[in-house]
Chains A and B, each alone.
Chain A
Amino acid sequence: AQRVTQPEKLLSVFKGAPVELKCNYSYSGSPELFWYVQYSRQRLQLLLRHISRESIKGFTADLNKGETSFHLKKPFAQEEDSAMYYCALSGGNNAGNMLTFGGGTRLMVKP
């Protein structure tokens, strides 16, 4: 079975502070990991995926297979980063068509 855990329901930081949103997963094979974001009154949208190795809006995430983690980081938070963030996993084979989401972390960036 595949599972994604986001241990923090709420993360509150000041503008300019570093941000790390934690994500741990369990999956026996080789997963693909994603971060989705939902800004206020907007739909859920893809932020980044580990396979792309991109930095999007200053955010990066590194897949650590040893620790089964995919934490999302940004060195300097901005107020517009305030949103709900979901970590998600896609497995291989016949599980490759579904996303398994974590419970989400609400990021609040205070001025």
Chain B
Amino acid sequence: ETGVTQSPTHLIKTRGQQVTLRCSSQSGHNTVSWYQQALGQGPQFIFQYYREEENGRGNFPPRFSGLQFPNYSSELNVNALELDDSALYLCASSLAPTVRNTEAFFGQGTRLTVV
């Protein structure tokens, strides 16, 4: 059984550019959630994908978008990058969308720096 893997591990982008981050969910997991963790803060929920559909969204603008594929892997896309988008982006997969009924397993994160 493989864990949650994210790519790339580090990324530097210029303000205004677009970025795509990738997440492979743990084997058997159909739900992927994305979190943004700014330096010195706790993770903040961006959105969740369940069976290829968005299933809940946090307080993030529409330039943050995502996809989930039939194999349940996922992408996070951010358009028109801003300096404040610099953060660690975490992906978590789980067996079900409701956190109460299952455990979320986190990846190691992608460190995005916007210059």
**Interface 1/0 per residue, A1-26 and B, CB below 8 Å:** 00010100100000000000000000
A70 interface residue per 8 A CB criterion? no
Across the two chains, which residue of chain A brings its CB closest to B97?
A: A97
**Interface 1/0 per residue, A44-75 and B, CB below 8 Å:** 11100001000000000000000000000000
Within 8 A of A (CB), among B90-115: 90, 97-100, 103-109
Q: Do B48 and A102 touch across chains, with their CB atoms under 8 A apart?
A: no
Of B33, B44, B90, B98, the contact of A44 (CB 8 Å cutoff): B90
Q: Do A97 and B43 touch across chains, with their CB atoms under 8 A apart?
A: no
A34 to B35, CA, bound (A): 16
Q: How large is the interface on A (under 10, 10 to 19, 20 to 34, 35 or more residues)?
A: 20 to 34
The listed residue with most B CB atoms (<10 A of its CB), out of A32, A44, A94, A99, is A44
A90-B99 CB under 8 A given contacts A97-B56, A98-B56, A100-B45: yes
Listed by A's residue number, 27 A-B pairs whose Cβ atoms lie within 8 Å are A34-B99, A43-B4, A43-B107, A43-B108, A44-B43, A45-B105, A45-B106, A51-B100, A90-B98, A92-B100, A94-B56, A97-B31, A97-B55, A97-B97, A97-B98, A98-B33, A98-B45, A98-B58, A98-B99, A99-B33, A99-B43, A99-B99, A99-B104, A100-B45, A101-B35, A104-B41, A104-B42
